A = this chain, B = another copy of it.
Amino acid sequence: MKIVNIKEIESRVVDMAGTYKVKKQIPISSADGTPAYSMRVFTLEPNGYTPYHSHNYEQLNYVIEGYGVLVDKDGHERPLKEGDFALVMPNEYHQYKNISDNTNFVFICVVPKQYE
């Protein structure tokens, strides 16, 4: 059993093409012995975004704080706010954007442990 608070977890800048003002924390991963899935937390600073891309695994999200958009496979921007859950399917194009000028957009992203 592991218990850790979000405030205690190291936050690292994500250095990936197509990413702007994004930090990542990893509360639960292979390092903790998770059998199959990991939990990460992404913080998109004001006007930050992740790449518009797809991959062969799904993502399960929960928005902890702030608001933004989740761009879908057709390029449509779907609002995403605190208390929202999202499921992005394998191979589905997607992008997260913080559309605020002054608040962070913080969300959980659950993925197979092979990818974290």
Contact = CB atoms under 8 A, between A and B. Distances in A.
A9 to B, nearest CB: 8
B35 A58 contact: yes
Contact of A88 (B1, B57, B81): B1
A33 interface: yes
B1 A94 contact: yes
Oligomeric state, in number of copies? 2
Interface stretch (A14-22, A44-52, A72-80, A97-105): A72-80
Main SS at interface, chain A: strand
Given A1-B70, A39-B62, A73-B1, A85 B33 contact: no
Interface residues of A, number: 40
Interface string A74-116: 0000101101111111101010000000000000101010000
Interface in A9-59: 27-28, 32-37, 39, 57-58
B5 A83 contact: yes
A7 to B, nearest CB: 6
Contact of A83 (B7, B33, B58): B7
